[in-house]
């Protein structure tokens, strides 16, 4: 994991005690890290409307549009890079994964299903990818509940890498 990414969990949960291995910044460096649009990680505040979906689950089609735009921009700006097997599109909701697969298939063709891994957080567990596009489905100002989580929580705000 790139040190820019590991810094947050180390500081937030482990009082800064987790250390990166030698040369991790160089070993995990990728061409898109230098681009302001992407960096080593990026948060996009996407406003959309959650809708009921199959599997007694929810989806947010506007977030699907944003995920497609991110993939498209990566593919266009880094044409010499093979992203096959290096991108994971992840969500907590099965209906969102189904909608993301459907929309990516329509936009990019059948081969996209072989090169991009679409899965729920649970289904993706244990895998590694160079790029993760995480679709949270529920978002927006003043949101106090994620829905499937119970109990109280204290929101943690990670810095946005420009």
User: Per-domain residue ranges for the chain?
Assistant: 1-42, 46-140
60-109 pLDDT, tens digit per residue, is 999 999 999 999 999 999 999 999 999 999 999 999 999 999 999 999 99
47-63 pLDDT, tens digit per residue, is 888 899 988 999 999 99
Query: To the nearest whole number, what is the mean pLDDT of the chain?
Result: 86
Residue 118 in 3-state DSSP?
strand
**46-140 — its CATH code?**
3.40.50.300
Q: Does residue 8 have a pLDDT over 50? A: yes
Q: What is the mean pLDDT of residues 124-140?
A: 89
Q: Does residue 111 have a pLDDT over 50? A: yes
pTM of the model: 0.81
Is 92 buried (19+), middle (13-18) or exposed (0-12) by CB count in 10 A? buried
- 85 and 128 Cβ atoms separated by less than 8 Å: no
């Amino acid at each position: 994991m790139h040190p820019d990414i590991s810094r947050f969990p180390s500081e937030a949960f482990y009082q800064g005690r987790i250390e990166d291995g030698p040369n991790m910044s160089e070993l995990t460096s990728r061409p898109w890290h230098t681009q302001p649009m992407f960096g080593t990680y990026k948060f996009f505040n996407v406003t959309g409307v959650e809708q009921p979906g199959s599997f007694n689950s929810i989806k947010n089609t506007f977030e699907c549009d944003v995920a497609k735009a991110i993939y498209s921009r990566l593919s266009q700006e880094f044409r010499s890079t093979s992203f096959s097997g290096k991108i994971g599109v992840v969500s907590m909701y099965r209906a969102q994964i189904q909608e993301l697969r459907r929309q990516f298939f329509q936009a990019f063709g059948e081969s996209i299903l072989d090169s991009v891994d679409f899965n729920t957080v649970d289904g993706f567990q244990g895998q590694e990818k160079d790029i993760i596009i995480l679709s949270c489905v529920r978002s927006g100002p003043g949101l106090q509940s994620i829905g499937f989580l119970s109990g109280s929580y204290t929101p943690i705000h990670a810095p946005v890498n420009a």
